Structure 1
Amino acid sequence: MTPRSWEGWVERYRAQGYRVIAPAWPGIDGEVEDIRRNPSRTAGVGLRGVIARYEEVIRDLGEAPVIMGHSFGGAVTQVLLDRGLGRAGVAIDSAPSRACCRCRTPPSSRPSRCWATPPGGTRPSR
């Protein structure tokens, strides 16, 4: 996704004093119109590449951010949180991810519950 997808959210949270970044997915930097004219640069971009890109961005921040993602990006959010890269996460209408279902004993700074949607299920369980 391009950062334009997040313009409203970026403006909202910056107005409240937060530092907000919305990095592009690999191969998808630039204007939507340009990408539509030449979509070849997005060829081969998959889940691993997107996760690796965001992992790199997060590690360069110096502190764990709140990670936000929609749909496929929600699944990316879950994986990044599972790797301990975020302080918290917001997954909006998320695609499912197995990574969100692995629970570990959380550090004291994290919530003590791990929510997971069982395969074929729609309701969270504790």
Structure 2
Amino acid sequence: MSTKATPVVFIHGLWLHATSWAPWVDHFQRAGYHASAPGWPGVPDTVLEARAHPESIADHGIDDVVEHYTAAIASLPVAPILIGHSFGGMIAEKLLGLDLAAGAVAIDAAQIKGVLPLPLSALHATLPVFRNPANKHRAVSLTSDQFRYGFGNAVSREESDALYEQWSIPAPGRPLFEAAAANFSMHSPAAVNTHNDHRGPLLLVMGGQDRTVPEAITTATLKQYRHSSAVTELLEFDDRGHSLTLDHGWMEVADAVLIWLEKHGL
């Protein structure tokens, strides 16, 4: 357990509001950390506001999000630990590669440049955005059925619907289009410095039942770090889906992260 109020910054991904991290923030504060969960640029303070004003969320890309969290990190007294989910996991990896964090945990992180597998389930989960090229500049909402497929497939229908009603918000399409084109772009915003030998430790967490970021993507991400001597580890929850940070089993994941942080003196 941390003996200092080390900052921990939680980074949400697409289709979830920052307040979905509230149980984690409380849990980590009780463990001795100074935890916060700032939202992406343009995301209003509440779920209801975000749903009412999707235009404020639209057209923010990966670089915008990185710059937004870079500014948040600059206001902290020391480099924080970053914990991100889905696209938030990718953002955490980028910031760690830039030496802006003491360590990072990327949970079911979106694919970075260099990752080649693109499972059919991942394509299906992101189809609500890719079905219309104009969605690159829009914020797109999921239906409860789409959320069930991409997030809540490993929990009951009742729980999936409850999570959808509580936390789901529109998401900008731009990051998905940028990630999809990453391997065809020399200067893709989805590129991460995976060769950094001096960065802090990184833990990749994957859910074995995840359809949005299947195991193949996370294991391929791990291989991207093979040329770095910095700590990079993998942890799997084989019965969990993409909702593993917010469904009834979230504390099991959170406690595993706390144990890993203690192991590495973070």
TM-score interval for Structure 1 and Structure 2 normalised by the shorter chain: 0.7 to 0.9
Larger-gyration structure (1/2): 2
1:27 equivalent in alignment to 2:124? no
Unaligned runs of 5+ in 1: none
Give the one of 18, 23, 33 matched to 1:8: 23
Counterpart residue number, 2:101: 86
Give the one of 72, 77, 80 matched to 2:92: 77
Higher strand share: 2
Per-residue CA shift, 1:6-37, capped at 9, x if unaligned? 01110100111210011111110311111112
Counterpart residue number, 1:68: 83
Structure 1 residues 121 and 90, CA gap change in structure 2 (3 angstroms):
closer
Give SS of 2:84's match: strand
Q: For CA contacts below 8 A with separation 6 or more, give which structure has more relative contact order.
A: 2
* Aligned-partner Cα distance in 1 for 2:218–2:63: 25
1:40 equivalent in alignment to 2:55? yes
Give SS of 1:35's match: helix
Give the one of 93, 97, 102 matched to 2:112: 97
Unaligned runs of 5+ in 2: 1-11, 114-190, 205-216, 227-266
1:54 equivalent in alignment to 2:69? yes
Per-residue CA shift, 1:49-98, capped at 9, x if unaligned? 11100000001102110001000000000000010000000000001223
Number of corresponding residues: 119
* Aligned-partner Cα distance in 1 for 2:32–2:23: 15
* Aligned-partner Cα distance in 1 for 2:27–2:58: 32
Structure 1 residues 95 and 21, CA gap change in structure 2 (3 angstroms):
same
Letter in 1 for 2:197: T
RMSD value, Cα: 2.5
Counterpart residue number, 2:219: 122
Percent of aligned pairs sharing the same letter:
34
Give SS of 2:39's match: coil
Shift of 1:3: 2.4
Shift of 1:101: 5.4
* Aligned-partner Cα distance in 2 for 1:101–1:86: 13
TM-score normalized with structure 2 length: 0.41
